[in-house]
Chain A
C-alpha cells in the first residue's frame, strides 16, 4: 500500500502555508485547531492549552518551511503541540494524572452480578443510525456536556483516535502513553458515552 495518506487538497494547503498566504492559514487554523486543542488539553489546563496552541500557529509560519510531508500535516501539527505542551509541563514540574489501572468503568462494572453475568443488561436500541441520532439537537447538547465532563486524558485520547482518526501509534506518540494505556483511556471514555446515550434513549433526558 502507498504511504501517502494526505490528499491533493492538503498539498495545495501546504504550498499556501509555505508561501505565507493568509487565506491558507485561515483555512488551516479552522481545520486543525480542534485537534491541536485536544492534544494540548491532554497535558494542560484550558487556558494554558489555548496559549500553547496560539503560540504553535505563530511558530508554524516559519517551521512549515521544514515540513517534508512524511507524516501528514495534521500529525506534524499535533507533534509540535505535544512537544510544546510537554515542555510547559516540565517547566511547571507537573505530570499528567491518568488512571490506567482498570479498563471497566465503575458505573458499568456495577451492572454485573458476582458471577460475571449482566445483572442490569444494556437497554440501548442500536438500530438508529448515528446520523439520525445526531439530528436530535438535545442529544448533541447532552453529548457535549458529557464530553466536557470526561477526564482530559480520556477525552483527548477519544478525540484523537475517533474524531481525528489517528492511528494508535500516532496517538501513543503524541500523548506519550503506551499502547495498552491508550486502550484503557479509549475504552473508559467510550463506556461513558455508551452509558450517556443509553440514559438519553431511555428517559429522553441528559
Chain B
C-alpha cells in the first residue's frame, strides 16, 4: 500500500511522467481515495508553474553590462585587425 508519505516522496516523478506504469497506477489509486494528496499534487504543480513563470524573468543588469563591454572590446580589437588584448 502506498502511503501519503511515499506519494510525497515521488510526487515530482509522477508530475513529470517519470514513473513506471505500475507505480503510476498505485499513485492514481491513492489519489482517488485521498483528498489531501490530491491537494498536495495540485499545489506542487502550481508551485512548479509559478517557478517557471518567475525565474525566466531574472537578469542581472550589471553583469550583462560588464559582459557587453568585454565582448565589444574583443570584437573591436578583432575587427580592427589588431591582436586581441589578453
- Residue numbers of A with Cβ under 8 A of B are 20, 22, 25-26, 29-30, 33-34, 37, 50, 53-54, 57-58, 61, 103-104, 108-109, 112, 115-118, 121-122, 124, 126, 128-131, 133-134, 140, 143-144, 147, 158-159, 162-165, 168, 183, 186-187, 190-191, 193-194, 197-198
Contacts and interface: CB of A to CB of B under 8 A. Distances in A.
A117 B3 contact: yes
Given A22-B75, A30-B59, A54-B66, A190 B5 contact: no
B67 A187 contact: no
12 contacts: A26-B68, A29-B68, A37-B60, A53-B63, A58-B74, A116-B5, A121-B39, A122-B36, A122-B39, A129-B49, A183-B12, A197-B46
Main secondary structure of the interface of A (DSSP, over half): helix
Interface string B51-86: 111111011100110111011101100110000000
Interface in B12-44: 12-13, 16, 18, 36-37, 39-40, 42-44
A57 B69 CA distance: 11
B50 A197 contact: yes
Lowest 9 CB-CB distances: which A-B pairs, in order?
A116-B3, A124-B43, A130-B49, A163-B55, A126-B42, A187-B12, A121-B36, A112-B5, A126-B46
Contacts of A164: 56
A57 B72 CA distance: 10
A106 B11 CA distance: 15
B63 to A, nearest CB: 6
A183 B12 CA distance: 8
> Which of B4, B18, B55 is most buried by chain A, counting CB atoms within 10 A of its CB?
B55
Given A50-B63, A58-B71, A121-B36, A187 B43 contact: no
